[in-house]
Each structure stands twice: as structure tokens, then as C-alpha cells.
Amino acid sequence: MRKPRDFDAELKALEDKARELKSRKVQQLGELVIATGADALSAEELAGALVAIAETKDAGKREAWARRGATFFQGRARRPTPPTDRDTGGAQTQQISPQPASGGTGSA
């Protein structure tokens, strides 16, 4: 005879896992807001911008945003080391210098 399944325990475990994933998602979204500098915006401005983006159906705009986001994440992956090693100054350096700093002429 097979052991009966404890559906209540399985359901509780799934609920706990879903709660953990949701919590992690919220934390990561908060970290993203801070990393992009969007934490300087008011909650209303940020919410309005997100609503406008979510409502946009223009594939060209969405693709441009996706490319810009990918560039942001690629730059952040390489940014921690170069600024401490080099003093090239200015905000423009943060956007441009991470790519050449990874090895000069070739890409990572």
C-alpha cells in the first residue's frame, strides 16, 4: 500500500516558495530603481513612466528600450573595477569607459 500524499504540506511548501520568489522580485526591482537613479523621481513620476511604458505598443520603441537596458546591464557588469583603477573623471566616463576598460580593442 502506498503512502498517502500530504497535499496540505505540499501546498504550503509551494506557497512558501511563491512568497520567497515574489519577495526576491520586489527586492531586485528596488535595486534596479536605485541602480538606474530612478529613486530620485517621485513615486508618482516613476509610476507614470512605468504605466506609459507598459501601455506602449510601438515595437520600435520597445526594441530601443530593450537595447538601452541591455547596454545598461553590460556596463554595470564591468563597472565596479575600472572606476577605482582609473581617474578619467566625469559622468560621461561611466557610460563610455566600461567597454574599453575590459580589454582595449576586443570585446569580452
Per-position pLDDT tens, the chain of length 108: 788 889 999 999 999 999 999 999 999 999 999 999 999 999 999 999 999 999 999 999 999 999 999 999 998 765 554 444 444 444 444 433 344 444 444 444
Grid cell for residue 5: 500524499
Q: Do residues 79 and 91 lie in contact, with contact meaning Cβ atoms separated by under 8 Å?
A: no
3-state helix, strand, coil in the chain (%, to 5): 75, 0, 25
| Type of residue numbered 74 | Q
Task: List the Cα angle 103/83/74 in 5-degree steps.
Answer: 60
Rounded Cα distance, 42 and 48, in Å = 10
Predicted structure pTM score: 0.56
Distances in whole angstroms, Cα of residue 24 to Cα of each of 10, 30, 47, 82: 21, 10, 20, 29
At residue 81, the 3 state secondary structure works out as coil
Grid cell for residue 83: 572606476
